[in-house]
Amino acid sequence: MTNPELDLLQPYPFEKLRALLDGITPADVPLVSLSVGEPRHPAPQFVLDAMQQAARTVENYPSTRGIDELRQGIAAWLCQRYGLDNPEKLAEQHILPVNGTREGLYAIAQCVLDRTQRDRLVLMPNPFYQIYEGAALLAGCTPEFYAIDENADANIDAITDEQFARCQMIYICTPGNPTGAVSSEAGLQRLIAKAQEHDFIIISDECYSEIYREASGPPCGLLQAAKSMGLDSFDRCLVFHSLSKRSNLPGLRSGFVAGDAELIRRFVEYRTYQGCSMSGFVQHASIAAWSDEEHVQANRTAYDQKYEAVIDILSPALNVSTPPAGFYLWPELPVDDQIFTQRLLAEFNVRAVPGSYLARAPGQDNYNPGTNHLRLALVAPLDDCIIAAQRIIQCL
């Protein structure tokens, strides 16, 4: 016997991609993979050095809340980045380390959702990071999707009061995956007001927050928006951040959740039983990473260069523009996204993800907002991204 809710889970997008491409012989040219959103820029050496120097911390059990120095370092970064106040109080009451945003975004649903209220909803973007859906289903709750595109504020504003009235929790992703769209401060404040009115929790996935275009400037965060409207307690607001994208450290599995102190307190209680505290050497490496911005600036510059080069190649044939943040492109194709993905591998040895695999087709109209889109993760080196863009044009 197993948990019957496991049967509600759909295959992960990359499982579907493997099945789609099974049996296809790639073209006899070097592979360029733009399918997985795994950063490939070099990890900062000073972070690796800090981790090595802290290797002896494996001799001790780490605590659920993490060491004070890590929470203080995160609090200092939040204050510097988002203009928050009182770092001492933030570190003590409002911050908890997590082992990457994926683990945290899943676990928070198990902690805060009430499975006895099955008529209440967990709202989430569509297309979306599939962890949101799995977390809601395994918490015994009902996912409800809202379509997203490049207009992040309008997408949230389109959610009805009836949906908000039934909502237990909403996932938002800003900057968005895969659109790169960013919610404005005013848009976030309208959502916060809805959460206060209808008593639901906002979970803001902000793991792409530092991969923004320099010309666009840094995106607003949920806690920043809350503070600006006088909500210094961040009631019903939680943000999740990660070093994976910001610092090219996906294998470190290091991030944090911050916000509503009572929700953080309950999450600490939950995680004490779950037993997923952050290893000591990872904590020390994380302190080093959060305290430095120079490597983050270099990271953004590298992505900006890729966008500039790739957009020049793709824009004559596709309706595509540089998003304000993130490292994805989300072009709409003039052909079927699955067939194009197959031909792109077979004829040009480029891997991408069909947009329909990242979304659902809910409701009576059975409309999948990812249909005939392609997700391109610009994580490969600049020259490889240029080659991939040229091959996409040839394939079109």
Residues 131 and 199 in one domain: yes
Query: What is the DSSP track for 209-224?
Result: TT-B-TTT-PPP-HHH
Nearest to 291 by CA among 67, 70, 107: 70
**Whole-number pLDDT of residue 120:** 86
Query: Do 390 and 34 form a contact (C-beta atoms < 8 A)?
Result: no
**Whole-number pLDDT of residue 364:** 67
Contacts of residue 254, Cβ cutoff 8 Å, sequence gap at least 6: 97, 99, 100, 242, 243, 244, 278, 282, 283, 285, 286, 289
Residues 84 and 184 in one domain: yes
Residues 231 and 144 in one domain: yes
Residues 139 and 277 in one domain: yes
**Whole-number pLDDT of residue 118:** 74
- Residues in the chain, pLDDT under 70: 364
Residues 387 and 264 in one domain: no
Residues 93 and 191 in one domain: yes
Q: How far apart are CA 313 and CA 76, in angstroms?
A: 41
Tell me the residue range of the domain where 284 lies.
Answer: 46-290
Residues 265 and 142 in one domain: yes
Beta strands 255-259 and 95-98: pairing type? antiparallel
CATH code (residue 343): 3.90.1150.10
Residues 37 and 91 in one domain: no
| Sign of the torsion formed by the C-alpha atoms of 227, 233, 239 and 244 | positive
**Whole-number pLDDT of residue 337:** 97
CATH code (residue 140): 3.40.640.10
Residues 155 and 191 in one domain: yes
Domain end call among 228, 258, 290: 290
Buried-state track 319-339, b at ≥16 Cβ within 10 A, e below 16 = ebebbbbbbbbbbebeeebbe
Query: Do 323 and 5 form a contact (C-beta atoms < 8 A)?
Result: no
Query: Do 117 and 139 form a contact (C-beta atoms < 8 A)?
Result: no
Query: Does this model's pTM top 0.95?
Result: yes
Residues 61 and 75 in one domain: yes
Q: In what order do the strands lie in the sheet with 353-354?
A: 328-329, 374-377, 353-354
Q: How many domains is the chain built from?
A: 2
Domain end call among 275, 290, 305: 290
Residues 255 and 328 in one domain: no
Domain end call among 266, 290, 314: 290
Residues 243 and 129 in one domain: yes
